[in-house]
Amino acid sequence: MRFLLSAVALAFSLAAAAQDAPKYRVLAQDRGRVAIVGADGKVEWEVECKYNAHDLHLLPNGNVLINSGPATVTEVNPKKEVVWKYEAKPTAGNKGRVEVHACQRLQDGHTMVVETGNKRIVEVDKDGKVVKEVPLTVNKPDPHRDTRNARKLDTGNYLVAHEGDGCVREYDGSGKVVWEYRLDLNNRPRSAGHGPEGHGTEVYSAVRLKNGNTLIGGGNNNRVIEVDKDGKIVWSVDQKELPGITLAWVTTVQALPNGNVIIGNCHAGPDQPQLIEVTRDKKVVWTFKDHKTFGNSTATAQVLDLKDVIR
């Protein structure tokens, strides 16, 4: 009898947990498309994008901003029409190629674009004119690895993930480095590969939290870390710390208003989720696993319909 009551109680508990679990619409890019997938798992909208993008945003006007090519940022409206486009080109003295791995629509309507190869941040107006340029410090120049994601902060500074240098740098408006955090190997040997077997310090993303700390998507560091202004790790999620989940190339990080964090998990394999929501005590409360619409190279994704998300 006691066993039966316990089983019934457990069933009710699991049912309640399922009802309470968050359900999000997701915007992401992979498999030659940008798509919005509803909470029911159905594709609500999609547009062709053959490039494996590293940054995208759903704008307040309903348009999507995405780095749609190796050096291109495009704004597409719900009718799938291109309404704005910027293509980065080599600056004077740069004889190599240029790539774009980060973009952001700013409050003044300009668009921030980070150009690898050129080693600079630019702010571009609606006519495609560069209205501001910020030089970047790059110790190991590589047109594919100079940077990954970057964000302009409310202070006017810029937070940039430097993949090749293995560090996150904060710049002021003149390009001066005002803060830096260098990733370490977390007591593991460096190893090759894009999947769970690969390990290094090729950082992907960083956002600044309201408490002044910095939340970092470690790339092939296979973890998420939160560091304070002095560079001390105050919170982290390591590669195999979540039951049944293996982190591979950790890409985007999204800090929710309730304190939870959504982790982008790329190249982890078809049995692993591409997005994972964890609480601050490291309980998994939601995952997104859709290897039909997207795939194992889903580098950039956002949950929709939530206010005050830091990403």
The pLDDT assigned to 112 comes to 99
Q: What is the pLDDT of residue 12?
A: 39
What is the pTM assigned to this prediction?
0.93
Question: Which pair of structure tokens corresponds to residue 74?
Answer: 């495009």
Would you state the pLDDT for residue 144? 97
Pick from 106, 132, 214: nearest CA to 170: 214
pLDDT digits (tens, 9 = 90+) for 207-251: 999 999 999 999 999 999 999 999 999 999 999 999 999 999 999
Query: Is domain 105-304 classified as CATH 2.60.40.60?
Result: no
Q: Helix (H) and strand (E) counts for the chain?
A: 1, 24
DSSP state of 91: P
Contacts of 269 (CB under 8 A, 6+ apart): 195, 196, 246, 248, 296
Instruction: Place 14 in a pLDDT band, splitting at 50, 70 and 90.
Output: very low
- Give the tens place of pLDDT for each residue, 55-102: 999 999 999 999 999 999 999 999 999 999 999 999 998 989 999 999
79-88's contacts with Cβ under 8 Å and 24+ in sequence apart are 80/47, 84/111, 84/126, 84/128, 85/128, 86/111, 86/113, 86/124, 86/128, 88/113, 88/115, 88/118, 88/122
Q: Residue 22 — very low, low, confident or very high, per pLDDT cuts 50/70/90?
A: confident
The pair of structure tokens assigned to 161 is 């993930």
Q: Which two tokens stand for residue 301?
A: 């994704």
Cα torsion through 56, 135, 115, 60, rounded to 10: 20
Domain boundaries, the chain: 105-304
Q: What are phi and psi of 240, to 5 degrees?
A: -120, 30
